[in-house]
Homo-oligomer: A and B are copies of this chain.
């Protein structure tokens, strides 16, 4: 029986930081240097992010994280793979996330998608996520995907992974 692998979308498959920086630039003209965002929260990094995430198209037009397409395709043959996104806070984005996966990860079937509010009811063998709140309650192996907001924090209970290349080497 294949192990169940649970993969987060925002900040892991989908480049939310790039999308927020693009919208910040559009609205304020300000160029954001990603190196300045290391160790601060998403809200500190992008003060208008609570507005931008509710904008139509926010999730639908986000870029794909470097290396994620090839990696997820490879892992999809090796694991019982599920994409689990805590997107319920943004109901306009539910269909956008579904369509985004259809465009960029067409080998993922509807049976493999979960859109939730909290990940406290999600079980499996391995979870990849960029937020401690999602990994904490997971019963299996927990991989913390490096993003600027979590980069300076040490998480003794999670294994840190810095790229999709690294994930494929481990899994």
Which residues does A use to contact B, with CB under 8 Å?
4, 6, 80, 82, 84, 88-89, 91-92, 94-95, 98-99, 109-118, 120-124, 139
Contact = CB atoms under 8 A, between A and B. Distances in A.
Contacts of A99: 91
22 contacts: A4-B120, A4-B121, A82-B118, A88-B98, A88-B110, A88-B114, A91-B98, A91-B99, A92-B95, A94-B94, A94-B115, A109-B117, A110-B117, A111-B118, A112-B118, A113-B117, A114-B114, A114-B116, A114-B121, A115-B116, A121-B123, A121-B124
B113 A116 contact: yes
A89 B110 CA distance: 6
A115 B112 contact: no
Copies of this protein in the complex: 2
A114 B121 CA distance: 9
A4 B120 CA distance: 9
A117 to B, nearest CB: 4
Given A91-B98, A94-B115, A111-B88, A139 B121 contact: no
A160 to B, nearest CB: 23
A115 B114 CA distance: 6
Contacts of A118: 82, 111-112
A124 B137 CA distance: 12
A88 B91 CA distance: 14
B91 A110 contact: yes
A88 B117 contact: no
Contacts of A122: 121-123
Contacts of A89: 110
